């Protein structure tokens, strides 16, 4: 059994494979061999660690290095050794701190970020200011944007280097315009190519028509016409060596400078009567009550521009003697632009049944009215002149003391943009804005009247500004609860009646200068025909049917007949009022109710009310 086990173990031992061949380094001892192996392994790892550590440190140092200490890392610093510089946006070698033009686009950083509008990016050479003439000065600070030698404030075409003046205002510069003054005569055949009113020497005396005594035919002799359409006029406002009258229209008032005596404004006169004290009562009709019925009238160049006061039934102010009565009556008048000298006359009257008496307010014993002259060519806008005048001292009696003031207004600005009125005992206000060009256009139209038939042309319901205002007033009435046709018509009538009105009390008839609606709105004043034209225009523009009535009226039994204008309006389903009918079969049985537009008095005025003592000689004009 033992032999069998021995034989078996031997068999197993012999069946195992031989061990692998090993490299054996014969060292003095087994311990030294293992130690060297371990040492070599450590050296290798230490070397690799040092290499890794060295490499990592260098990169870390490079990524955080700021040599000049300016807060910008060297890798991002164009000037790593200069603490005052770190960027050079335009790569011109000059750092942005010192460089006045960082992006090198030719415009300084200060101009791009501060002076030039709109501001541009001072670090982007593709973003630079507007510079029309490319002279390096942006348009905002360039006094001559187009570089044509004419400063922008004198250059009609500041962005066109080929043009700088447009004499006739037609949008074509004089360089290419073959008719600079737009008078229909080509410049090549025009003796006066910059004067739209003259192109030849009509009298053949060898002198241009402008230097003749009255070449323009406006009935103003050149000797008193400071602007007689003379290109060699002595006033040269712009200092260009050419008289101002050669320019077309310096003040844009629609009147060429060669006939405009004040070409720097559209002159108007505002005269205010402040107070009056009656010193004597010599009227035999006043002996019973010692009171006088006083009213005041103003004339400019012998044309009556109005009288005050106006009232519901009487057009005078009852007063006793030796009492200063406050007045605050304002008269507004658009002074003619073709003449500079204007004579103003203020007269005070005591109203009587047969013949009105003049109150003496002039020291001249030959005159009762106070007369003075003004020169609109020297007008200073808003400069107020205060005067006190009296007739005491000429021994004529029936004297009075009047205090008044006057000042010039510039009609290029609307006289009073705020309109105030009262309707149904409630106050209303409306601010209106219009372009001066609209007012100027109608102001320059022919205003002459040769018969009563001519007055209907001043009613203009189809004008856009009239339609806009008519709609605004209608909507305003509806918004305040006045929705019926009658309410709307009365609301608009109150608006028109709230505009200051100067009563034509002296019996001269209809005014010699009727106004278009925009003129009454702009000047904030008007006469009876002006108020009538404005009212009919407004109501017609929103669908009402109106007529213009020209007639003779008497305020009371003691007053004389006077010319008057009054509107009338048809109101559907309304019959409780007085009016007239047209001789038109198409409008048979259609009543047009009186609508006195000169003033509005709550509880007294209104459509269908006849406010006159008597009427006669009615002329009806159907406005379509």
* Residues 285-334: tens digit of each pLDDT: 555 557 888 999 999 998 888 888 866 556 788 888 999 999 988 888 88
Share of the chain above pLDDT 90, in %: 33
- What is the domain range of residue 510? 418-622
Identify whether residues 365 and 428 lie together within a single domain.
no
Please state, in angstroms and rounded to a whole number, the distance separating the CA atoms of residues 607 and 597: 10
Identify whether residues 433 and 394 lie together within a single domain.
no
* pLDDT for res 534: 97
Predicted confidence band of residue 121 (pLDDT cuts 50, 70, 90): low
274 within a domain of the structure (yes/no)? yes
Pick the last residue of a domain from 357, 380, 410. Answer: 410
* pLDDT for res 436: 86
Please state, in angstroms and rounded to a whole number, the distance separating the CA atoms of residues 303 and 113: 61
141 within a domain of the structure (yes/no)? no
Identify whether residues 426 and 406 lie together within a single domain.
no
66-80, 193-207, 246-260, 522-536: which is most confident: 522-536
* pLDDT tops 80 at residue 37: no
CATH number at residue 606: 3.10.620
Higher pLDDT, 33 or 523: 523
Kindly compute the dihedral angle of the four CA atoms of residues 94, 95, 100, 101, in this order, to the nearest 10 degrees. 80
Identify whether residues 403 and 438 lie together within a single domain.
no
* Residues 495-515: tens digit of each pLDDT: 999 998 765 443 333 346 789
Identify whether residues 295 and 391 lie together within a single domain.
yes
* Residues 399-410: tens digit of each pLDDT: 999 999 999 888
170 within a domain of the structure (yes/no)? no
CATH number at residue 398: 2.60.40.150
Provide the β-strand partners of residue 401: 277, 390
215 within a domain of the structure (yes/no)? no
Please state, in angstroms and rounded to a whole number, the distance separating the CA atoms of residues 493 and 83: 80
Higher pLDDT, 332 or 218: 332
Identify whether residues 479 and 591 lie together within a single domain.
yes
Predicted confidence band of residue 11 (pLDDT cuts 50, 70, 90): very low
* Residues 421-480: tens digit of each pLDDT: 999 999 999 999 998 889 989 988 998 888 889 999 999 999 999 999 999 999 999 999
* pLDDT for res 511: 47
497 within a domain of the structure (yes/no)? yes
What is the pLDDT of the chain when averaged over all its residues? 79
**565-582 burial string, b = 16+ CB within 10 Å, else e?**
bbbbbbbeebeebebeeb
* CA separation, residue 610 to residues 233, 422, 562, 604 (Å): 56, 20, 16, 10
Residues 6+ apart with CB under 8 A from 405: 271, 272, 274, 384, 385, 386, 387
Please state, in angstroms and rounded to a whole number, the distance separating the CA atoms of residues 362 and 382: 26
534 within a domain of the structure (yes/no)? yes
Please state, in angstroms and rounded to a whole number, the distance separating the CA atoms of residues 24 and 599: 136
* pLDDT for res 191: 72
Domain count, the chain: 3
* pLDDT tops 60 at residue 23: no
Identify whether residues 321 and 393 lie together within a single domain.
yes
Please state, in angstroms and rounded to a whole number, the distance separating the CA atoms of residues 399 and 412: 40
Helices (H), 498-575: 517-523, 528-541
Please state, in angstroms and rounded to a whole number, the distance separating the CA atoms of residues 239 and 241: 6
Identify whether residues 451 and 597 lie together within a single domain.
yes
* pLDDT tops 50 at residue 12: no
| CB contact at 8 A, 268 and 410 | yes
Identify whether residues 482 and 378 lie together within a single domain.
no
CB atoms within 10 A of CB 169: 12
Give phi and psi for 266, each to the nearest 5.
Answer: -100, 90
Complete DSSP assignment for 34-50: HHHHHHHHHHHHHHHHH
* pLDDT tops 50 at residue 163: yes
| CB contact at 8 A, 473 and 264 | no
Complete DSSP assignment for 107-136: S-HHIIIIISSS---TT-TT-----TT-SS
| CB contact at 8 A, 471 and 536 | no
Residues 6+ apart with CB under 8 A from 173: 156, 157, 160, 162, 163, 164, 165, 166
Higher pLDDT, 558 or 216: 558
Predicted confidence band of residue 2 (pLDDT cuts 50, 70, 90): very low
| CB contact at 8 A, 137 and 131 | yes
Strand pairing category for 400-410 and 385-390: antiparallel
Pick the last residue of a domain from 410, 436, 469. Answer: 410
Residues 6+ apart with CB under 8 A from 404: 271, 272, 273, 274, 346, 387, 389
Share of the chain above pLDDT 70, in %: 72
How many CA atoms, within 13 angstroms, populate the side-chain half-sphere of residue 356?
Answer: 21
Identify whether residues 520 and 484 lie together within a single domain.
yes
Pick the last residue of a domain from 410, 430, 460. Answer: 410
* pLDDT tops 60 at residue 6: no
* Residues 83-115: tens digit of each pLDDT: 877 776 767 777 667 767 656 666 776 666 677
* pLDDT tops 70 at residue 29: no
Question: Packing angle between helix 528-541 and helix 485-497, nearest 10 degrees?
Answer: 150
Which is nearest to 494 in space by CA: 413, 594, 595? 595
Identify whether residues 404 and 509 lie together within a single domain.
no
Mean pLDDT for the stretch of residues 350-365: 86
Identify whether residues 570 and 500 lie together within a single domain.
yes
* Residues 540-575: tens digit of each pLDDT: 999 999 999 999 998 878 778 888 999 999 999 999
Kindly compute the dihedral angle of the four CA atoms of residues 607, 490, 305, 268, in this order, to the nearest 10 degrees. -160
144-148, 184-188, 189-193: which is most confident: 184-188
Please state, in angstroms and rounded to a whole number, the distance separating the CA atoms of residues 511 and 515: 10
Please state, in angstroms and rounded to a whole number, the distance separating the CA atoms of residues 145 and 137: 8
Please state, in angstroms and rounded to a whole number, the distance separating the CA atoms of residues 549 and 594: 9
| CB contact at 8 A, 324 and 276 | yes
211 within a domain of the structure (yes/no)? no
Kindly compute the dihedral angle of the four CA atoms of residues 529, 444, 621, 490, in this order, to the nearest 10 degrees. -50
* pLDDT tops 70 at residue 57: no
Mean pLDDT for the stretch of residues 52-70: 63
Give phi and psi for 378, each to the nearest 5.
Answer: -110, 15
Higher pLDDT, 224 or 113: 113
229 within a domain of the structure (yes/no)? no
* pLDDT for res 499: 92
């Amino acid at each position: 059994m033992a032999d069998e086990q021995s034989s078996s173990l031997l068999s197993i031992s012999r069946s195992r494979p031989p061990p692998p061949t090993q490299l054996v380094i014969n060292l003095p001892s087994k311990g030294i061999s293992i130690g060297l192996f371990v040492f070599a392994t450590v050296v290798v790892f230490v070397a690799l660690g040092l290499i890794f550590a060295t490499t990592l440190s260098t990169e870390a140092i490079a990524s955080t290095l700021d040599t000049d200490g300016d807060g910008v890392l060297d890798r991002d610093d164009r000037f790593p050794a200069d603490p005052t510089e770190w960027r050079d946006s335009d790569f011109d070698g000059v750092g942005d701190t010192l460089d006045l033009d960082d992006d090198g686009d030719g415009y300084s950083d200060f101009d791009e970020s501060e002076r030039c509008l709109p501001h541009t990016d001072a670090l982007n050479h593709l973003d630079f200011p507007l510079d029309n003439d490319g002279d390096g000065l942006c348009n905002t600070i360039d006094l001559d944007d187009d570089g044509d030698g004419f400063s922008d404030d004198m250059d009609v075409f500041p962005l066109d280097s080929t043009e700088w003046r447009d004499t006739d205002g037609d949008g074509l510069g004089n360089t290419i315009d073959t008719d600079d003054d737009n008078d229909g005569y080509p410049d090549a055949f025009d003796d006066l190519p910059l004067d739209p009113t003259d192109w030849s020497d009509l009298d053949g005396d060898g002198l241009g028509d402008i230097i003749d005594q009255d070449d323009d035919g406006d009935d103003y002799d050149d000797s008193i016409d400071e602007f007689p359409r003379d290109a060699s006029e002595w006033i040269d406002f712009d200092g260009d060596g050419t008289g101002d009258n050669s320019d077309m229209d310096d003040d844009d008032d629609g009147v060429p400078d060669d006939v405009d005596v004040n070409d720097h404004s559209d002159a108007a006169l505002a005269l205010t009567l402040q107070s009056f004290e009656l010193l004597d009562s010599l009227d035999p009709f006043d002996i019973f009550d010692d009171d006088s019925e006083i009213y005041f009238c103003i004339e400019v160049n012998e044309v009556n521009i109005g009288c005050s006061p106006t009232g519901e039934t009487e057009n005078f102010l009852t007063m006793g003697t030796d009492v200063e009565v406050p007045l605050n009556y304002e008269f507004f008048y658009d002074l003619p632009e073709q003449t500079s000298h204007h004579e103003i006359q203020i007269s005070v009257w005591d109203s009587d049944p047969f013949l009105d008496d003049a109150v003496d307010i002039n020291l001249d014993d030959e005159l009762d009215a106070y007369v003075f002259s003004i020169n609109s060519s020297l007008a200073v806008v808003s400069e107020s002149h205060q005067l006190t005048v009296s007739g005491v001292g000429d021994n004529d009696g029936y004297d009075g003391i009047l205090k008044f003031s006057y000042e010039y207004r510039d009609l290029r600005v609307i006289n009073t943009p705020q309109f105030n009125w009262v309707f149904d005992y409630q106050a209303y206000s409306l601010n209106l804005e219009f372009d001066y060009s609209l007012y100027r256009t109608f102001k320059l139209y022919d205003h002459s009247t040769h018969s009563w038939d001519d007055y209907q042309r001043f009613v203009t319901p189809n004008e856009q500004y009239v339609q806009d205002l008519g709609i605004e007033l209608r909507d305003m009435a509806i918004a305040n609860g006045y929705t019926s046709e009658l309410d709307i018509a009365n609301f608009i009538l109150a608006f028109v009646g709230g505009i200051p009105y100067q009563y034509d009390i002296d019996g001269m008839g209809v005014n010699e200068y009727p106004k278009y609606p925009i003129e009454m709105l702009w000047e904030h004043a008007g006469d009876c025909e002006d108020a009538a034209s404005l009212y009919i225009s407004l109501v017609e523009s929103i669908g009402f049917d109106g007529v213009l009535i020209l007639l003779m009226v008497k305020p009371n039994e003691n007053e004389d007949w006077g010319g008057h204008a009054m509107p009338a309006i048809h109101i559907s389903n309304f019959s409780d009022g007085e009016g007239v009918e047209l001789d038109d079969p198409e409008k048979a049985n259609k009543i047009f109710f009186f609508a006195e537009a000169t003033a509005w008095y709550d509880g007294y005025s209104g459509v269908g009310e006849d406010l006159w003592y008597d009427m006669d000689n009615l002329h009806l004009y159907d406005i379509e």
